[in-house]
Structure 1
Amino acid sequence: MNPYHQSLIIIGMPGAGKSTIGLLLAKHLAKDFVDTDLLIQLEHRKTLQDILHEQGHLALRDHEEKILLNTHYTNHIIATGGSAVYSDKAMQHLKKFGQIIFLDVAIQELEQRINNMNTRGIARAPQQTFAELYAERRPLYLRYADIVIDCQGKNQDQLVEEVICQEAEDFAAEDA
């Protein structure tokens, strides 16, 4: 696939910066941007937290899977919800459109960033701690990632630059 038409799919924990880095990447690479959490909210006309409160975390994951399976975006930066990796079907579908980038942020950093755990719309079991959620999800992020970006000690510009360089290297290697 021509790199201009290839999408980049961003995965990672809540607070990893998927939407922020995604928007910056879209500007740098002249691609459209889509945030799948927003697509869920638009379809249901509710916030993620309202969906969680009314239907539970498994229903939110189901809604996310449906949105992801209906995602047919070329030449996009796609920021997924943190729980996208629970659906193997959805992740395999997204891989058809481009590389999957995992923004790997340490648990301590994430815990500092997330100060609205109970209102943010994070799909987790009712008594599950953020650390437990991290331990459960991180192996899934690593399983699906084509590129892992270690975010430790890097600012937004450095992360964008690293994603662009890694993506270009991987594309060149595939083309060789």
Structure 2
Amino acid sequence: MGAQSGRGKAEGGGTSAPESLLLERLGTRCIVLVGMPGAGKSSVGRRLAKRLGLPFMDADEEIERAAGMSIPEIFASRGEVEFRDGEKRVMIRLLQGGPIVLATGGGAFMNADTRAAVARLGVSVWLSADLGVLLRRVRKRTDRPLLAEGDPAEKLARLLAARGDTYALADLTVESRDATHEAVVDDVLAALGTHFQRKAEGQASPAPSSAP
């Protein structure tokens, strides 16, 4: 179930008061969207970045720019192992340039070094989606090498089973439901606001001392 809807932009195109507070609490960290192919990381990420007035970066696009070829071409010519190594390097470089909204490839969060960098330099949000929603979305795309051959439904189901527990390690989980991208952005903003509020309350209210 998605998080409760957050408030929209203030009149005049700026950020609303809750969003300004969120940015203050975010500091130099990145908002990192993780999840399956078709979860809407890029579409939601672009709109989220616009709402917050932050730069948006797509890790897959940056990998293609660094390699000088498309991701399917990298898979075909260099293999998945080399792709994942390059993906990790690009991810760490992007994370060091925060604050940004960063959309990751479906397998990026599987790498332990990448997860550690995300934990250190960002706030991770798993955009979780039902298999049916994912399948409808990925069928519109032809640039996903891991789904290029065979039955996409079967492959997606296997990927989700293999990756779900790792995605669940993200700081937050928001359902990328069958709704408008703006509605999902509202859910992400609400979840982030709650996350930072709880952290602020925890820092402001230390545990009582056991000393007499």
TM-score (norm: length of structure 1): 0.89
- CA–CA distance in 2 between the matches of 1:56 and 1:147? 31
Q: Does 1:112 align with 2:107?
A: no
Residue number among 176, 197, 202 corresponding to 1:151 in the alignment: 176
Q: Does 1:76 align with 2:100?
A: yes
The number of residues matched between the two structures is 174
2:41 is matched with which residue: 9, 18, 27?
18
Q: 1:54 aligned to 77, 87, 97, which one?
A: 77
Confirm or deny: 8 A CA contact 1:61 1:123 kept in the other structure: no
> What residue in structure 2 maps to residue 161 of structure 1?
186
What is the alpha-carbon distance in structure 2 between the residues aligned to residue 53 and residue 21 of structure 1?
29
Q: Secondary structure at the match of 2:168?
A: helix
Q: Which 4+ stretches in 1 moved above 3 angstroms?
A: 121-128
Per-residue CA deviations over 1:106-156 (Å, capped at 9, x if unaligned) read 111111111267x4234579878222112111211112x111011233321
Answer whether contact 1:6 1:74 (CA < 8 A) is retained.
yes
Q: CA deviation at 1:96?
A: 1.9
Pick which of 34-43 and 108-117 moved more: 108-117
Q: Which residue does the alignment assign to 2:163?
A: 137
CA distance in 1, matches of 2:72, 2:61: 12
Q: 2:113 aligned to 50, 71, 89, which one?
A: 89
The amino acid of 1:169's aligned partner reads T
- What is the one-letter code of the residue matched to 1:6? R
Structure 1: unaligned runs, 5 residues or longer: none
Q: How far apart in 2 are the matches of 1:88 and 1:148?
A: 19
TM-score normalised according to structure 2 size: 0.75
In structure 2, stretches of 5+ residues that fail to align are: 1-23, 202-212
- 2:59 corresponds to 1:41: no
Secondary structure of 1:153's counterpart equals coil
* C-alpha separation in 1, matches of 2:174 and 2:195: 13
Q: How large is the RMSD of aligned CA atoms in angstroms? A: 2.1
Q: Deviations over 1:50-88 (max 9, x none)?
A: 011112222221211121122312220010111112211
Which entry has the higher C-alpha Rg, 1 or 2? 2
Change (3 A) 1:60 1:121: farther
Q: 1:125 to 1:83 in 2, by over 3 A?
A: farther
Moved more, 122-131 or 72-81: 122-131
Matched residues in 1 for 2:140 and 2:188: separation?
Answer: 28
